[in-house]
């Protein structure tokens, strides 16, 4: 893939661009055709500090590292230094990372010191072989520096294709490369598969669906995986999850989601043949507004009322397991919040409640009740009651004159 920067008078942009559409060059080494305009820029020279204002053309987008600061762009235009040459990338850009496991002694030079002749020769031979094969694919852009590791000789590399790639073409070229180098290849791609998950946090116990699509039929059975801190879990049909598959399209539907379904979802298509494996992968994270399991306690546990005139404070506690959810905690029945403390994997919220020992009926006062309410980011609530078990003593008043 070749890139060029043209400085054109604004009034002539359309005329010159239309002329370039017919441009074609061929020689023994290169073919240039289908010239596309990716980025349009204008220099704002009238401002105190001249800047270049650039916009991606339809079908192209900014790379995050080029234009990620929202203070510098307004969805369409992005500001750059006047001497810079920013470039948008295609929406259909494909990334490939991979490794080749080589057998035999022919490539051991790649494990020597980088300044040695053996390393230079080995590295050049492998670079030329990899680039020579994949550059035959339309849209080939860059091949990064090769890295080597032990285990026979393992070659790690990364490539970019500036436009859509036919998966079968990539697969066949990889098989050919493996045969040429007498090695086995494992590749992982981005850009072949698109995954859509809810953009906003999902309500606890609600139903949700996710969609995974491909531009072409990859002739492979899709696999859905959920990655959590405690491991990776294959998603199949069950009481909560339903997986549907049809050509170029697969979905999972979940009902009554809880904290167990929060995490990173991976949609994977695997092509495998003759020692070559290509993993076409897309991943995205789904956040769920969580509801906590609340454990309660009170200190003292069984407060004792020795006289009906006694008044004392009871500390009421609501303890939950730590999570990524940010809760707002409120208390009722005149309880005074006292903040929270953390210990290991739990967080405890406390409040103080004034207990009046005066009996309110002939059968004695009922145990006071305090409630803590946790409100999540989706404004859903979880409430737990804390009963203060007051013990009323057998006190009496002596008649006058009797001590």
Question: What confidence category does residue 251 fall into, taking pLDDT thresholds of 50, 70 and 90?
Answer: very high
Question: What confidence category does residue 377 fall into, taking pLDDT thresholds of 50, 70 and 90?
Answer: very high
Question: What confidence category does residue 115 fall into, taking pLDDT thresholds of 50, 70 and 90?
Answer: very high
Q: Is the pLDDT of residue 367 over 80?
A: no
Rounded mean pLDDT, 43-65? 75
**Six token digits for residue 332:** 């009722």
Start-end ranges of CATH 3.30.70.260 in the chain?
Answer: 94-190
In this prediction the pTM is 0.75
Residues in the chain: 403
Torsion of CA 316, 317, 318, 321, to 10 degrees: 180
- Determine the pLDDT at residue 211: 97
Q: 295-392: what CATH class?
A: mainly beta
**Six token digits for residue 259:** 């904290």
- Determine the pLDDT at residue 24: 65
267 within 8 A of 222, measured Cβ to Cβ: yes
Q: Is the pLDDT of residue 300 over 90?
A: no
| Reduced 3-state DSSP string for the chain | CCCCCCCCCHHHHHHHHHHHCCCCEECCCCEECCCCCCEEEEEECCCCCCEEEEEECCCEECCCCCCCCHHHECCCEEEECCCCCCCCEECCCEEEEEEEEECCCCCHHHHCCCCCHHHHHHHHHHHHHHHHHHCCCCCEEEECCCEEEECCEEEEEEEEECCCCCHHHHHHHHHHHHHHHCEEEEEEEECCEEEECCCCCECCCCCEEEEEEECCCCCCCCEEEEEECCEEEEECCCCCEEEEEECCEEEEEECCCCHHHCEEEEEEEEEEECCEEEEEEEEEEECECCCCCCEEEEECCCCEECCCCCEEEEEEEEEEECCCCCCEEEECCCCEEEEEEEECCEEEEEEEEEEECCCCCCCCCCCCEEEEEEECCCCCEEEEEEECCCEECCCCCCCCCCC
- Determine the pLDDT at residue 26: 64
Rounded mean pLDDT, 340-355? 92
- Determine the pLDDT at residue 89: 82
- At a CB cut-off of 8 Å and minimum separation 6, what does 233 contact? 225, 226, 227
> Positive or negative CA dihedral for 100, 102, 106, 111?
positive
Q: What is the pLDDT of residues 117-172, one digit of tens each?
A: 999 999 999 999 999 999 999 889 899 999 998 878 999 999 999 888 999 999 99
- Determine the pLDDT at residue 361: 44
Rounded mean pLDDT, 270-275? 93
Q: Is the pLDDT of residue 332 over 70?
A: yes
Q: What is the pLDDT of residues 186-224, one digit of tens each?
A: 999 998 999 999 989 999 999 999 999 998 999 899 999
Residue matched to tokens 């035959």: 136
Start-end ranges of CATH 2.60.40.10 in the chain?
Answer: 193-286
% of residues, the chain, pLDDT over 70: 84
What backbone phi and psi angles, to 5 degrees, belong to 302?
Answer: -125, 80
What is the β-pairing status of strands 241-246 and 391-392?
A: unpaired
Determine which of 63-67, 98-102, 229-233 has the lowest per-residue pLDDT on average: 63-67
Determine which of 47-51, 236-240, 257-261, 373-377 has the lowest per-residue pLDDT on average: 47-51
- Mean pLDDT across the chain: 85
93 within 8 A of 162, measured Cβ to Cβ: yes
Determine which of 29-43, 84-98, 224-238, 336-350 has the lowest per-residue pLDDT on average: 29-43
Is CATH 2.60.40.10 correct for 193-286?
A: yes
Residue matched to tokens 């080589």: 102
- Determine the pLDDT at residue 46: 60
> In CATH, which of 3.40.50.300, 1.20.120.1200, 3.30.70.260, 1.10.240.10 is domain 94-190?
3.30.70.260
Range of 88-97, 122-131, 351-360 with top mean pLDDT:
122-131
- At a CB cut-off of 8 Å and minimum separation 6, what does 387 contact? 367, 368, 369
């Amino acid at each position: 893939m070749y890139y060029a920067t043209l400085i054109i008078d604004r009034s002539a942009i359309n005329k010159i661009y239309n002329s370039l559409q017919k441009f074609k060059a061929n020689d023994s080494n290169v073919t240039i055709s289908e010239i596309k305009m990716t980025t349009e820029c204008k220099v704002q020279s009238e401002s105190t500090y001249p800047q270049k204002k650039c916009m991606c053309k339809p079908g192209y987008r900014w790379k995050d590292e080029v234009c990620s600061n929202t203070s510098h762009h307004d969805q369409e235009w992005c500001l750059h230094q006047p001497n810079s040459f920013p470039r948008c990338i295609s929406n259909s850009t494909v990334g490939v990372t991979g490794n080749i496991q080589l057998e035999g002694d022919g490539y051991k030079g790649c494990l020597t010191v980088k300044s040695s002749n053996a390393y230079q020769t080995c590295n050049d031979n492998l670079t030329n072989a990899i680039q020579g094969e994949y550059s035959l694919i339309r849209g080939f852009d860059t091949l990064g520096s090769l890295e080597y590791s032990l285990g026979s000789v393992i070659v790690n590399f990364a490539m970019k294709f500036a436009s859509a790639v036919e998966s079968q073409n990539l697969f066949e070229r990889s098989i050919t490369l493996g045969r040429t180098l007498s090695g086995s290849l494992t590749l992982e791609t981005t850009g072949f598969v698109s995954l859509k998950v809810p953009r906003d946090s999902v309500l606890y116990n609600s139903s949700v669906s996710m969609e995974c699509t491909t531009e072409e039929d990859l002739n492979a059975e899709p696999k859905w995986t959920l990655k959590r801190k405690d491991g990776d879990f294959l998603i199949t049909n069950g009481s909560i999850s339903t997986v549907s598959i049809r050509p170029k399209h697969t979905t999972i539907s979940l009902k009554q989601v809880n904290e167990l379904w929060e995490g990173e979802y991976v949609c994977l298509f695997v092509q495998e043949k003759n020692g070559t494996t290509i993993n076409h992968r897309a991943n995205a994270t789904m956040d769920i507004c969580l509801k906590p399991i609340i454990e309660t306690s009170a200190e003292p546990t069984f407060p004792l009322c020795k006289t009906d005139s006694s008044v004392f404070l009871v500390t009421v506690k609501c303890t939950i397991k730590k999570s990524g959810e940010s809760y707002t905690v409120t208390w009722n029945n005149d309880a005074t919040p006292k903040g929270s403390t953390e210990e290991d994997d739990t967080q405890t919220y406390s409040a103080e409640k004034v207990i009046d020992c005066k009996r309110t009926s002939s059968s004695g006062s009922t145990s006071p009740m305090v409630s803590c309410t946790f409100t999540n980011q989706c404004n859903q609530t979880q409430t737990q009651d804390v009963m203060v078990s007051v013990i009323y003593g057998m006190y009496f008043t002596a008649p006058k004159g009797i001590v």
